[in-house]
Structure 1
Amino acid sequence: MNVMSVLNQIMGQAQGGQSRSSGGMDINSLMGSLGNQVSGGNGGSGIDVKSLLGGGALGLMLGSKRGRKMGGTALKYGALAGVGALAWKAYQNYQSNAQGVPQQAPAQQGRPLEQLQGAEQEKRGLEILQAMIMAARADGHVDANERALLTQEIEKLGPDDELHNWIQQQFDAPLDAQALAKNADSPQASREIYVVSAVMIDDQNAMERAWLDQLAAALNLDPGLAKELDQQVRAVSQG
């Protein structure tokens, strides 16, 4: 399946920029951009909110009709473009600040999405895309009409037949945090799944927040780590 081609384009929509056609992501560029946002700088990768919520697959998944606030809340969607780097940074902060938490070798953690290649990146990409779709459905507002519109937008991204069928299956599947968590292939994958979900949900929506809490439990995330992941997502929105 050409999942990374589609996922990269969706992530490109999060930045309000040009869609990426294919290939791996530049981890150094993403880290620089992410660091600039977290530190409150004014870099050249600013997020075009109008472009973000005006349409496209991401805009429809977020559901602009739900009345999401603009500004900081929309800015956090830029975290999608560096999800692996952000999740890894949060883990490092957590390890540095936590007392009595066993230190684990980096090899045991798995690598960030942006550092993976080939089949490994495709597999992680499926996990990330599944998490995005599940989070988009968490408030129960993806009706038949929205699904049809979303399918049209996803088709524009050029998924192959196998990926198209897989995406449709995700819209039909039960919302099951345990099933989603089982797909995580490493602790880093679990953190990325949580970050993507945290970006997609609206904290002010009780149903969406409940989904995120269920997912954190299913992923066996320590509450302190989940809190750090949430803080990193919020930091991007304040950039």
Structure 2
Amino acid sequence: MNAQRILSQLMRQAGDGRRGGLDVQGLLGGLTSGAGGKAGGQGGGRLGSALGGGALGVLLGSKRGRKLGGKALKYGAIAGVGALAWRAWQNARASSGGEAHEGTPLDDLQGEPLERRSLVLLQAMIMAARADGHVDERERALLTEQIDAIGADDELHAWVERQLSAPLDALALARQADSSQAAREIYLASVAVIDDDNPMERAWLDQLASGLSLDEDMKRSLEREALAAGEGSDHEEQW
């Protein structure tokens, strides 16, 4: 599979959006303006110019009438998920000395370890998008189409299809974390997609945090990083 390529495209588009290079609200509007699930429809022009953003748009919530603000605010965290997760650990554990084996940030991985981490982060984002139970058939088709458009091979295409139909299991997802750093990245990628005001999505995050063995301090630190990344702040605000 080529999960690393797909994740890097999504991260690049998220970074462009955080810097103002991608019209997030306009893109999401295009997804709901009558595209009919086809990239060549009314919304297809916008998607064609920002394919990674199109996939992110579906993950953030493309159904007409759904609340998009909270998700759109935080999705910039996807752009720097490895570094932000590491900084969250530093902020939360500075006084305690941290754990013995923290693991390697996404940005420092290569080869097969990078491919495995990329795949689990993609899975985390897809599962988070499904957590409220409202990803319909049109959105599933559009997400698959957009991931294909940014370079998914046949194996990854089939994998995405399975993820869109598989039972939601936060503990099974959590078991794929091979280190504390991976656990933080999985949670942060999920936070970027979740709407905090939706009880079902918040429950998913809580289950995932429990499975990942993240304590309340770490959860808060990661969620602060997600919000600060979305707002483009310097991370110095106090909660």
TM-score by length of 2: 0.80
**Cα offset, 1:102, TM superposition:** 5.7
**Cα offset, 1:157, TM superposition:** 1.4
Equivalent residues in 2 for 1:22-171 (5 A)?
45-46=19-20, 48=22, 49-50=24-25, 53=28, 54=30, 55=47, 56-65=54-63, 66-70=65-69, 74-97=72-95, 101=96, 103-105=98-100, 108-171=101-164
Runs of 4+ residues over 4 Å off in structure 1: none
**CA distance in structure 1 between the aligned counterparts of 2:192 and 2:116, rounded to whole angstroms:** 20
Q: Does 1:206 align with 2:199?
A: yes
Q: Does 1:2 align with 2:19?
A: no
Report percent identity of matched pairs: 57
Corresponding residue SS for 2:114: helix
**CA distance in structure 2 between the aligned counterparts of 1:205 and 1:213, rounded to whole angstroms:** 12
Kept in 2: contact 1:16–1:51 (CA 8 A): no
- Amino acid corresponding to residue 233 of structure 1 in structure 2: A
Kept in 2: contact 1:135–1:201 (CA 8 A): yes
Deviations 1:79-131 (A, max 9, x none): 1010000000000011114xxx46334xx111110111111100000110000
Corresponding residue SS for 2:134: coil
Kept in 2: contact 1:73–1:237 (CA 8 A): no
**Cα offset, 1:52, TM superposition:** 5.2
Paired residue for 1:20? none
- Amino acid corresponding to residue 126 of structure 2 in structure 1: I
| RMSD, aligned CA | 1.9
**CA distance in structure 1 between the aligned counterparts of 2:160 and 2:134, rounded to whole angstroms:** 17
Q: 1:238 aligns with which of 218, 231, 235?
A: 231
Kept in 2: contact 1:87–1:195 (CA 8 A): yes
Equivalent residues in 2 for 1:185-196 (5 A)?
185-196=178-189
- Amino acid corresponding to residue 150 of structure 2 in structure 1: L
Does the C-alpha gap of structure 1 residues 165 and 74 become closer, same or farther in structure 2, counting only changes over 3 Å?
same
- Amino acid corresponding to residue 2 of structure 1 in structure 2: N
Does the C-alpha gap of structure 1 residues 51 and 123 become closer, same or farther in structure 2, counting only changes over 3 Å?
farther
Corresponding residue SS for 1:127: helix
Does the C-alpha gap of structure 1 residues 63 and 69 become closer, same or farther in structure 2, counting only changes over 3 Å?
closer
Q: Which runs of 5+ in 2 are unaligned?
A: 31-46, 48-53, 233-239
Q: Which runs of 5+ in 1 are unaligned?
A: 18-36, 38-44
| Larger deviation, residues 124-133 vs 223-232 | 223-232
